[in-house]
Amino acid sequence: MRITRPNRRQVLKGAAVAFAAPALLRTRSGFAAEPIRIGLVTPSTGPLAFFAQPDAFVIQQFKKAFSEGVGGRPIDLIVKDSQSSASRAAEVASDLILRDEVTLLLSSGGPDTVIPVADQAELNGTPSLSTACPWQSFVMGRGSSPQKGFQNTFLFAFGLEDVIAAYLKLWSGLATNRKVGLLLANDVDGNAWGDASFGFPPALKAAGYEVIDPGRYTPMADDFSAQIAAFQQAGVDIVMGTMIPPEFLSFWSQSAQKGFRPKAATIGKCLLLPATLEALGKGGDRLSTELGWHPAFPFRSATTGETAAEIAAAWQAATGRPWVQTVGYKHALLDLAVDVLKRASDVSDPAAVIAAIRSTDMETTLGPANWSKSPIANVAKAAMMGGQWHWDGAGYGLEIAANPTTLAIPVTRSLQAL
């Protein structure tokens, strides 16, 4: 028998026609039983596509778990491309909710993907899990507070305070003039990182750093002459920010042309994967970034039983390429989805699925996930390390260069100046 959604959802279903879009990837077993449908919104194309690079591999890792399903019903994962657009992310999320009637909605890929998807889930009463997005953007960026939270939408990820702690720990071993230049776009991410109350500026000042902030640049900018000039005039030793690959590639090549060479460049988002470094050739050696997953993490997947090292080795065997930390984020997201569905008393009841999310206490490859122990409503905290890229003559490797937490995660190589 087909299990339908609550009546309110059925009434809304007709509105989905305007948002219809084909699934890019759909996994379904040969079971005759009605599957449990879950949706994943991911930036498969566009400037944020590096977030989706591990999707096909990770989904394959969960093929057995999806086939076994829950209570005799297989899990059908429907994947849709946000095209790296917030408006498109909202459209396909609405399509998954109203047309495909998913039981659980997943998203990953920064605020531009996560926030519009979570907003649609909250609006339509659909349980939602997300990762790879600072909790400040997820909570305050959606008009809520750490105390209030949300009814239907949940995040397993880091906060800006974790990134800040990782960056400060990274830089603590370098001899610098403690002048930090900010590179932040006028977008959700950039404005959160540059927020005067909870972002980098007040934290850096409190730690004794001088902040040189040339202002927010326009997203997808390709001319950073003004920012570079401001940094050179101030004598900046450290550059930090959060950028997408095309922006950083422009900034770094223009910096080299103008003779600007800081002692440290720690850039979020675009340096998560080696592709950006490879585009720079040897010029990316010793760039640094936040690091949310590494093969040295001492955690194991609750669903597949794999260690972080085993997951990384499987990725390299399957793709012939070095591991990427986004593998860990996506693996943990699917781990959580399977665990929640298995524990829900009734997967057809959104309230039961939400109750299962709230009672989560499990280990993922990112580390332990537990919403009940978090001081931030609807947010379970994930660890954040500081990482540095090193060129070995044949390619790039990412090392854990700083651990600002109490978790037993090893520093694999200390930070070195550029």
Pair 136, 192: CB distance under 8 Å:
yes
pLDDT at res. 189: 85
* pLDDT tens-place string over residues 94-153: 999 999 999 999 999 889 999 999 999 999 999 999 999 989 889 988 999 999 999 999
Q: What is the DSSP string of 107-132?
A: EESSHHHHHHHHHHHHHHT--EEEES
Provide the whole-model pTM: 0.86
CA dist., res. 270 & res. 93, Å (int): 25
* pLDDT tens-place string over residues 362-415: 999 999 999 999 999 999 999 999 999 999 988 899 999 999 999 999 999 999
Q: Mean of the per-residue pLDDT values for the chain?
A: 91
| DSSP assignment letter at 403 | -
Kindly list the distances between the CA atom of residue 380 and the CA atoms of 130, 179, 374, 377, in Å, as whole numbers in the listed order.
10, 33, 6, 8
* pLDDT tens-place string over residues 205-233: 999 999 999 999 999 999 999 999 999 99
Element (H, E) at 356: helix 350-358
| Domains of the chain with bracketed CATH | 7-159+296-381 (3.40.50.2300), 161-291+384-402 (3.40.50.2300)
Kindly list the distances between the CA atom of residue 176 and the CA atoms of 172, 183, 263, in Å, as whole numbers in the listed order.
9, 18, 7
Q: What is the mean pLDDT of residues 52-61?
A: 96
Q: Residue 143, SS3?
A: coil
Is the per-residue pLDDT at 6 higher than 60? no
CA dist., res. 97 & res. 12, Å (int): 10
Is the per-residue pLDDT at 300 higher than 80? yes
List of residues 6+ apart from 353 with CB closer than 8 A:
103, 104, 127, 340, 341, 344, 347
Residue of 294, 274, 292 lying closest to 284 (CA atoms): 274
Pair 80, 41: CB distance under 8 Å:
yes
Q: What is the mean pLDDT of residues 66-92?
A: 97
Q: What is the mean pLDDT of residues 24-50?
A: 79
Give the confidence band of 4 by pLDDT, cuts at 50, 70, 90.
very low
pLDDT at res. 15: 35
pLDDT at res. 1: 31
User: What are the percentages of helix, strand and coil residues in the chain, rounded to 5?
Assistant: 40, 20, 40
CA dist., res. 216 & res. 182, Å (int): 9
Give the confidence band of 47 by pLDDT, cuts at 50, 70, 90.
confident
Q: Residue 336, SS3?
A: helix
pLDDT at res. 188: 82
Q: What is the DSSP string of 63-123?
A: HHHHHH-BTTB-EEEEEEE-TT-HHHHHHHHHHHHHTS--SEEEEESSHHHHHHHHHHHHH
Is the per-residue pLDDT at 49 higher than 50? yes
Give the confidence band of 32 by pLDDT, cuts at 50, 70, 90.
low
CA dist., res. 38 & res. 79, Å (int): 9
Is the per-residue pLDDT at 80 higher than 80? yes
Q: What is the mean pLDDT of residues 253-274?
A: 94
CA dist., res. 111 & res. 189, Å (int): 7
